[in-house]
Amino acid sequence: MTDLWREWRIPLAYIVPGAVLVAVLVLAGLISYIWLPCDVTLVNIAEKLQPPSWAHPFGTDQLGRDGLSLIMLGARTSLGVAFAAVALGLGVGVPLGLLAAARHGVIDQIVMRFSDAIFAFPAVLTAILIMAVSGPGAVNVIVAIGIFNIPVFAKVTRGAGLVQWQLAYVAAARVAGKGRLSIALEHILHNAAPTIIAQAAVQFSMGIIAEAGLSYIGLGVQPPDQSWGRLLNEAQTLIGLAPHLAIFPGLAILLAVLGFNLLGEGLHAAFDSRRQRR
């Protein structure tokens, strides 16, 4: 019991607050599909730009729409885009990284130089380029952010994989007649998974910031969809008049990023302490 406590004390100090923050925001986004505090399709000019009150805890915007409802709607897009971008990075980057670690030489070189090439492009500029060519919209945002996740996951997977390939159990698996591909899938992937999962949490928080940035400059999702970045964009001109319009979306972004970073840090610590025990 005490051993278990000692092992998990530090990781849990990160994981619990991180998970709570993430869970609250994800729930807010999910609930928005079935229920909202107020109908945001109705314009109510009489109640515009109201400060936080019992009726509208996050105040109202310039069209009199409920701030809390808008934040909940924004959570859908902000978290959804980040999730899809991480999924794209994982889906393409991890197989590439496994392949690079399994096949030394030419394939490794190709995958890694391809990653370097992507890294060489400034991320924001490239995203703007993609948006300019194919137009704004949620799918394009996902692609723009996700492309930059691919080399990150490829490099992390390759690095963790190369360490595993050196170990004697891989030699044992080869003697047992396993090919490089099945060794990569059966042995390397799940031993590299801790590192990949911790990286995914970090990429998640970076995805949220990237989406907010693109939406803020008007290249993200378009009306009537909401996102936290778009809310910030709309609050821009009114910030002197109604600061709450900027404060609450900003807080949502901050808490989401904090939550995912804590989660990533905690998972990393948990895997580390398990490794030490062995």
Partner 1 sequence: MSIALLRIEDLAVSIAGKPILHGLSFDVRAGEILALAGQSGSGKSTTALAIARLLPRAAEINGSIVLDGIELFSQTEKALRDICGRDIGLVFQEPMTALNPVMTIGEQIAEPLRIHKKLGRADVREEVIRLLDRVGLMEAGITPDRYPHELSGGQRQRVAIAMAVSCAPKLLIADEPTTALDVTTQAQLLKLFRTLAQEDKIGVVLITHDLAVVAETADRVAIMHEGKIIEEGLARDVLRTPRHSVTQDMVAALSRLPVRTSRPRAESILEVSNLERRYGGVAATQFTALHDVSFSLKQGESLGIVGESGSGKSTLLRAILGLDKPNGGDVRIAGASLFGARGKENRALRRKIQAVFQDPAGSFDPRFSVERIVTEPLHLLGERLSRSERRKRAETVLERVGLSGSVAHRFPHEFSGGQRQRIAIARALIIEPSLIALDEAVSALDISARVQILELLNALSRDLGISYVFVTHDLSLVRSITDRLIVLQSGRIVETGATVDVLAAPHHPYTASLVAATPDFARALS
Residues that bind partner 1 (CB under 8 A): 167-169, 171-178, 187, 190-191, 277-278
Q: What is the DSSP string of the chain?
A: -HHHHHHHHHHHHHHHHHHHHHHHHHHHHHHTTT--SS-TTS--GGGTTPPS-SSSTT-B-TT--BHHHHHHHHHHHHHHHHHHHHHHHHHHHHHHHHHHHHSTTHHHHHHHHHHHHHHHS-HHHHHHHHHHHH-SSHHHHHHHHHHHHHHHHHHHHHHHHHHHHTSHHHHHHHHTT--HHHHIIIIIHHHHHHHHHHHHHHHHHHHHHHHHHHHHTT-S--TTS--HHHHHHHHGGGTTT-THHHHHHHHHHHHHHHHHHHHHHHHHHHHHHHHHH-
Minimum distance between the CB of residue 267 and partner 1, rounded to whole angstroms?
Answer: 16
Residue (132 or 167) nearer to partner 1, CB: 167
Q: Closest distance between partner 1 and the C-beta of residue 274, in Å? A: 9
Q: Which is nearer to partner 1, 177 or 223 (CB)?
A: 177
Q: Measured from the CB atom, is 174 or 236 closer to partner 1?
A: 174
What is the closest distance, in whole angstroms, from the C-beta atom of residue 117 to partner 1 in the complex? 27
**Cβ nearer to partner 1, comparing 132 with 171:** 171
- Residue closer to partner 1 (CB basis): 126 or 191: 191
